[in-house]
Chains A and B, each alone.
Chain A
Amino acid sequence: MSSDLLTVDQITKVYSTGGMLSRSAVAAVEKVSFSLHAGRPEIFAIIGESGSGKTTLARIILNMLAPTSGTITFRGTDFSKMHGRRRRLEFMRQVQPIFQNPFEAFNPLKRVDRYLFASASRFVGLRGRDAREAIADRALKQVGLSFAEVKGRFPHELSGGQLQRTAIARALVSSPALIIADEPVSMVDASLRMSIVNLFKSLRDELKVSIIYITHDLATAYYISDRVMIMQKGKVVETGPARDVLSNPRHPYTVLLRESVLSLDDADRPLDGKNLK
C-alpha cells in the first residue's frame, strides 16, 4: 500500500435532512474506492451528472468534509485522524484544489498576487518579498503567465482564462503531488478552454503532478485523462482506462452518458427532431 499516492477506501457520506420527526438520509457518496499510484503521475477523471456525488467526494479527499465511514490515506497516512496545524499544513502543501469558477475562488476586493504570496509563506515557509515573488513567478511561468502580468491586479482585471491559470499557479506554488480540479473548465470561454486542458497534460508530463479531474464533459475527459471513474447517484458504476471505458462503455449508465454526448457529426444529419433520440 505504501506505493500508493492516494488510497480511497470504501468512502461513504450520508447527509440526513429533515427535523426530528421526518428524518431522511441521502447517501451522497456510497462505498467509493480507488487509488492513485505514487510513481506514475496520471490524470484520473471522475465523471458524473450533477447530484452524482463527485463534488462531495472531492471535498472528502481534500479533508474539508469528514466521511461517514471509510478511510482515505495519502502516502500511507490518514490525515483526517491527524490533528494540529503542522500536520494539516503538511497535507495541504501536497494536495491542492482548483475550483470551478475562478471569479468566485478569488475575493474580488483582494489583489490576486496576495493569494500567491500567502501560499508561498504558509506552505513553503518563505519570508521576504523577493523570495516569494521568485516562487510566484516560477509557478506563473509554469502556467504560461508571468508575475509582471498579475502583479497588483484585481480579479476583474484578468480574463477568465488568465484567472483560472492564476488559480492553477497558486496551487503549484507549494509543489503539490496531487491536484484536485473540480470542473475547472466549465466556466472558461470556449477559445481558452483548450489552453487550460492542455496545461493539465503538461503538468502531468513535466511536473509529475497527479490530477483528479472532476467533470461532466466526456469529450475533454477522453482527451486528457488516463483513467476514468463514472459515478451515478453516489455509486461508482464503471471504472477503467479512459479510452476503453469511453469507447466501449459496458455499464448501461455509461452507455446512456456516451449516447447523450452531442456530436459535431450530427450537424450533417437532417434536423427533424428524430435524430435527437
Chain B
Amino acid sequence: MEAALSVENLRAYYLTRYFGVVREVRAVDDISLEVKRNEIYGLAGESSSGKTTFIKTIAAAIRPPLKVVSGSVKYSFLDRDIYGLSPKALSAVRWKHLSYITQGSMNVLNPIRRVRQSFIDFALRHTRLSKRDFFDTVESHLARMQLEPTVLSAYPHELSGGMRQRVAIALATICRPEFIIADEPTTALDVVVQKSVLRMIREAQQQLGSSMIFVTHDLTVHANIADRLGIMYAGRLVEEAPTTEIFHNPMHPYAAHLVASLPRIGDLRPRKALSGAPPNLADPPSGCRFHPRCPLAMDICRRVHPALTTLAANHRVACYAASPLVKPSAELASELAASPDREPIKLPQ
C-alpha cells in the first residue's frame, strides 16, 4: 500500500550564531517514517524531544533559525518534496490537502470575528464554491460533526473550550484533506471533554479516509486513538510499532519505562521513576542519546547510536539491548559527508 506520507532521513537543526559562536541544536536527527493511508500515526515524546520541530518540518513551516539539513518529506498528493514548492504552490496545498489541528483552538479562530469568518478565511478559496453553496457544505459538515449551525454566528470566546476544539476540527476537515496533522489537540481540555473530542477526531478521520499524524506526550491518549505509535527521544525515533504492541511488548527501555510508570486506577504497585534528566539537544550525549539514563547501557551505547532496526512485522527499535540484530548506524559524520545532496549550511546573518 502506498504511503500517505514518507519521511526519509530527515534532519532539521536550529542553527544560531551569537558573537561568531555557532550553536547547533539537533532537534530532529535522522528520522525516517511512513504514515499509511487511512491511518492514525501517534507520535509520543516528552518536551524537547523534537516532536514540534518534526511537525513544523513536515508541514513545511520552516523559519530561521530552523533549517532542514537533509532528508525528504513526500506526500502522496504531491509528486515531489514539500520543500520544493513555491510559497504560492504551498498555500494551494495547505488546508486543501494538508490541514492542521492545534493545541490552542483559540489561536486558530479569529477572536474578534465570528466563527463564520474563520471558515471563509481558511477554506472558501480552496472549494471554488459560491458563498451560499459553501455555507451549505459547511452546515452539512457541522451536522455530521454533531455541531449546531448556530456556532457559525458565535464569537470564539462564547464557546466552551471543548466546543471550540470541535469547531477547529470541523474547520480542519471541511476541505476533506488527505492528510491531517494534529498537535496536542486534547491537552488543554478537561478529562470529561477530552474523550468526546478524541472520538470526534477518530470519526472525522474515518469518514474522510484521511491519514493523520497525532502528536501528544500523553500515552493514554495514544492508547485510545493511534493505530501505530512512534516514540521519540531527544530528536530521534527510538521505537515504532502498532499501538497494542508498544503497550504489551515495548522493546526500547525508554518506551518500556513510559508504559510501566503510568499509574492506573486499581493498581497500587509502586512505580519507579527514571533517573537523570532529558538531554540538552545543543550538547547531546554521545552514541545512543538515552544511555546516561538507561539501566541496560553497555559500552557500545556510549560510542555509536544504534540504527532503527525492523525486528518483527511493523516493529522497529533502536536499542542494542533489544536484539543482537540491532547494528550501529553508520557514523553520523561520515554519513553526512557522504551524502552528496546535502546543502551547505547557511547561517542566518
How many angstroms between the C-alpha atoms of A243 and B219 in the bound complex? 23
Proximity string of chain A (249-277) to chain B, C-beta cutoff 8 Å, 1 when within and 0 when not: 00000001110111111111001110111
Q: Does A189 make an interface contact (CB < 8 A)?
A: yes
Given A260-B194, A264-B247, A273-B202: A193 and B261 interface contact (C-beta under 8 Å): yes
Whether A50 contacts B190 by the Cβ 8 Å rule is: yes
Is the CB of B132 closer than 8 A to any CB of chain A? no
Q: Are B263 and A257 in contact (CB under 8 A)?
A: no
- A189-B217, A267-B247 known; A198 and B199 CB under 8 Å? no
- Interface 1/0 per residue, A10-52 and B, CB below 8 Å: 0000000000000000000000000000000000000001100
Contact of B202 among A49, A195, A265, A271 (CB under 8 A): A271
Inter-chain contact B46/A262, CB cutoff 8 Å: no
Find out whether the CB atom of B220 lies under 8 angstroms from the CB atom of A264.
yes
For window 211-247 of B, CB contacts with A under 8 Å fall at: 217-225, 227, 243-244, 246-247
Q: Are B191 and A192 in contact (CB under 8 A)?
A: no
Given the complex, which residues of B lie within 8 Å of A273, measured CB to CB?
199, 202-203, 206
Residue of B nearest to A258 (CB): B265
Interface residues on A, range: 35 or more
Within 8 A of A (CB), among B247-269: 247, 254, 257-259, 261-266, 268
| B-side interface mostly | helix
When the two chains form the complex, which single residue of A159, A194, A271 contacts B271, counting CB atoms closer than 8 Å?
A: A194
Decide yes or no whether A121 CB sits under 8 A from chain B: no
A218 within 8 A of B: yes
Stretch of A60-68, A130-138, A175-183, A219-227 contacting B (4+ beta carbons < 8 Å): A219-227
- Of all chain A residues, the one with the shortest Cβ separation from B198 is A276
Listed stretches B91-99, B272-280, B300-308; interface member? B272-280
Complex CA gap A267/B44 in Å reads: 15
Q: List 24 A-B contacts (CB under 8 A).
A: A189-B47, A190-B219, A190-B258, A191-B46, A192-B274, A192-B278, A193-B273, A194-B274, A197-B271, A217-B191, A219-B263, A247-B266, A257-B192, A261-B265, A262-B195, A263-B220, A264-B220, A264-B259, A264-B262, A264-B264, A271-B40, A273-B199, A273-B203, A277-B195
Q: List the 3 closest pairs (A to B, CB-CB), nearest first.
A: A195-B273, A276-B199, A159-B277
Q: List 13 additional A-B contacts (Cβ < 8 Å) besides A190-B258, A192-B274.
A: A195-B274, A198-B273, A216-B190, A219-B262, A222-B266, A223-B263, A247-B265, A256-B192, A261-B191, A261-B220, A261-B265, A271-B224, A273-B206
B interface residues (Cβ-Cβ under 8 A, vs A): 40, 46-47, 190-192, 194-196, 198-199, 202-203, 206, 217-225, 227, 243-244, 246-247, 254, 257-259, 261-266, 268, 270-274, 277-278, 293
